[in-house]
């Protein structure tokens, strides 16, 4: 009897350990339940995270445009109040389309030294910026950057001359630069030259990258956003106020023309 009792005592700890191990182990069903709960929580959090990321990119875009605005106005201050053209090549004998777009001028003159302030981060996230840090073709030369108002600062369509800052009428309501995209439906890149028409085959049009909003820099240096009617190339244009001087031609160009 004593031998059996001793043997039982020796076996009892091992048996107890096995029982504890069995009771503490996950079954396959329990593991699947845990995985399912994690997946549900992730699906609930992802939209909030995506929205937060988009808001952060919109804030970063506004900051970029603010820096661009400071550089543009600094250039005017140093160069007899002349505005920076979307491209010097827009004026006969003034420059080249390959070397004298607005971002190249500001870069070469030392007003900007960070590539990433030249374009919208949300556009870059959507691959609307064909970026290359060594300034090679195509993003640098073709201008995958914010669009600068071509109507006011090239020649206002009536005179072949550059406009000076003091000549700009109502600078608080005159667009200087904005989120842009190529007017060509098959070319989904930002474009340096913001056109004055609803659509364009050669230049840029407005684009609402930020949850239907388009970030805009005004001539006086302040920033705002315009909410588009639709998330398309014409969505921003469709909510711009009418210019009564051009009811049948260019239409809604009040924020662009210098009149």
Rounded Cα gap, residues 210 and 120, in angstroms: 10
Question: Residue 2 has what pLDDT?
Answer: 47
pLDDT band, very low/low/confident/very high, at 92 (cuts 50, 70, 90): low
pLDDT band, very low/low/confident/very high, at 30 (cuts 50, 70, 90): confident
The 3-state DSSP composition of the chain as helix, strand, coil percent (nearest 5) reads: 45, 10, 45
Tell whether the model's pLDDT for residue 23 goes beyond 70: no
**Reported pTM:** 0.76
Question: Residue 38 has what pLDDT?
Answer: 82
Residue range 35-62: average pLDDT? 80
> Burial of 214 by CB count in 10 Å (0-12 exposed, 13-18 middle, 19+ buried)?
buried
Rounded Cα gap, residues 206 and 229, in angstroms: 12
Question: Residue 214 has what pLDDT?
Answer: 95
Q: What is the mean pLDDT of the chain?
A: 78
Residue predicted with more confidence, 181 or 241? 181
pLDDT tens track for 121-130 = 999 888 888 7
Domain boundaries, the chain: 57-239
């Amino acid at each position: 009897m004593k031998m059996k009792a001793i043997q039982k005592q020796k076996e009892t700890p091992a048996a107890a350990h096995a029982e504890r191990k069995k009771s503490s182990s996950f079954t396959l069903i329990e593991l699947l339940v845990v995985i399912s709960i994690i997946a549900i929580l992730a699906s609930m959090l992802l939209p909030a995270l995506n929205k937060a990321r988009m808001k952060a990119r919109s804030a970063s875009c506004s900051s970029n445009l603010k820096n661009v605005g400071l550089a543009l106005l600094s250039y005017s201050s140093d160069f007899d109040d002349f505005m920076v053209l979307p491209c010097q090549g827009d004026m006969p004998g003034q420059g080249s389309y390959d070397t004298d777009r607005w971002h190249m001028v500001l870069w070469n003159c030392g007003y900007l030294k960070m590539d990433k302030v030249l374009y919208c981060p949300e556009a870059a996230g959507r691959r609307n910026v064909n970026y290359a840090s060594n300034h090679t073709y195509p993003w640098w030369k073709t201008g995958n950057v914010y669009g600068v108002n071509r109507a006011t600062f090239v020649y206002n369509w009536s005179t072949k001359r550059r406009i000076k800052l003091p000549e700009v009428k109502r600078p608080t309501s005159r667009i200087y630069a904005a989120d842009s995209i190529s007017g060509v439906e098959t070319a989904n890149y930002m474009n340096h030259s913001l056109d004055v028409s609803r659509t364009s085959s050669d230049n840029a049009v407005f684009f609402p990258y930020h949850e239907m909003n388009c970030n805009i820099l005004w001539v006086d240096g302040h920033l705002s956003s315009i909410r588009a009617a639709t998330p398309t190339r014409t969505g921003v244009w469709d909510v711009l106020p009418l210019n009564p001087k051009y009811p049948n031609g260019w239409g809604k160009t009040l924020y662009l023309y210098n009149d």
